[in-house]
Amino acid sequence: MRAAATGIGGRLIVRRRAPAAAEAPGGAGGEIGFGSPLRAAVRLVVYLAFTLALIPVQAVALRLGSRLVEGLPVFYHRLCCRILGIRVELSGTPSTARPTLFVCNHTSYIDITVLSSAMPISFVAKAEVAGWPLFGLLAKLQRTVFVDRKRGSTMEQRDGIVARLAAGDNLMLFPEGTSDDGNRILPFRSALFSVAEGREAGQEPLVVQPVSLAYTRLDGFPIGYGMRPLIAWYGDMAMGGHLWRLAGLGRLTATIAFHRPVTIAEFRSRKGLAEHCQRTVAAGLAAALAGRTPESSTTIDAGLVKSPAMSTTAMGS
């Protein structure tokens, strides 16, 4: 016999059961997995209604070149975090330089919502994301740069990113090239760091800021190694089933750490820059998973940012 935890009505309940030959997150043999189906249904209906209401607004703002193009996604994603029960904690400060290339580890599709709740940002994503139902449209409305990661297309990828950076836009790059399991990061691919090389005469070196993102607690309890696949989306996981389980979870805490901005001038090459960013992001992820969150962290919820010292009540509770 061994212990198994299930979530019912937002609580984690531990009970004893016989071991199974193979189990997947969410339970096996018909068992109820983590989370509440009712909560999942309510959250997803509200999320979809809210999303469909704001899509035309962002589309018009994009067409007219309005400043809402940057501000509306931040508002939207902060409300989505509230709808989905995600509390976002921040440590460090995002770079204020324009442009800045942010580089972050990638665990799940929900990373987009969490990171976008912290600042105005567009993403660099693989080309197939553009064809995803709903999420592809949302990516286009947030002015995502789509890149083809096939061999031989590196220069085209670089040119598209360089053009956006030259326009003063901040971009978020996931240099692992795919999503990880939430416990560790994959090697960073140095090819796309080439955008930091060969800046035109008179231009300042491109600012690159490493960012660590970790999912640390569920209903206030630390998320252990075996529970991370409830949030992480990787390998051949089906998105529909994963999203349903994720939406049914209780209160999820995501921790974002902004590390010291750097430039390629501090390193010998783009490879050196990539290696530095990988080490920095990996250390930040390990610290967050170990519960070492800086005291200066802030929390984000529903379009507001507060320091814990400003309020004795945790935001989003």
With CA atoms as reference, report the closest residue to 143 among 56, 52, 59, 212. Answer: 59
pLDDT < 50 positions in the chain: 1-32, 302-317
The answer to whether residues 116 and 72 touch, using CB atoms and an 8 Å cutoff, is no
pLDDT for 204: 84
The answer to whether residues 172 and 124 touch, using CB atoms and an 8 Å cutoff, is yes
The answer to whether residues 118 and 256 touch, using CB atoms and an 8 Å cutoff, is yes
The identity of residue 213, as a single letter, is L
pLDDT for 298: 62
pLDDT for 10: 41
pTM of the entire predicted model: 0.83
Domains of the chain: 1-34 (no CATH), 36-310 (3.40.1130)
Query: In the 8-state DSSP scheme, what is residue 151?
Result: T
pLDDT (tens digit per residue) in 268-282: 899 999 999 999 999
Q: What are phi and psi of 5, to 5 degrees?
A: -110, 135
pLDDT for 300: 61
Alpha helices in the chain (DSSP H): 37-64, 68-83, 110-116, 135-141, 154-166, 239-247, 270-289
pLDDT for 6: 40
pLDDT for 282: 95
pLDDT for 58: 97
Residues across the chain: 317
Residue whose entry in the numeric block shows the structure tokens 């935890």:
5
pLDDT for 225: 85
pLDDT for 154: 62
Provide the 10 A C-beta neighbour count for residue 276.
Answer: 18
Tokens of 159: 């040119």
Helices vs. strands in the chain: H and E counts, helices first: 7, 12
Tokens of 53: 């209401």
The identity of residue 95, as a single letter, is S
The answer to whether residues 267 and 59 touch, using CB atoms and an 8 Å cutoff, is no
With CA atoms as reference, report the closest residue to 26 among 251, 244, 253, 250. Answer: 244
Tokens of 87: 């509390």
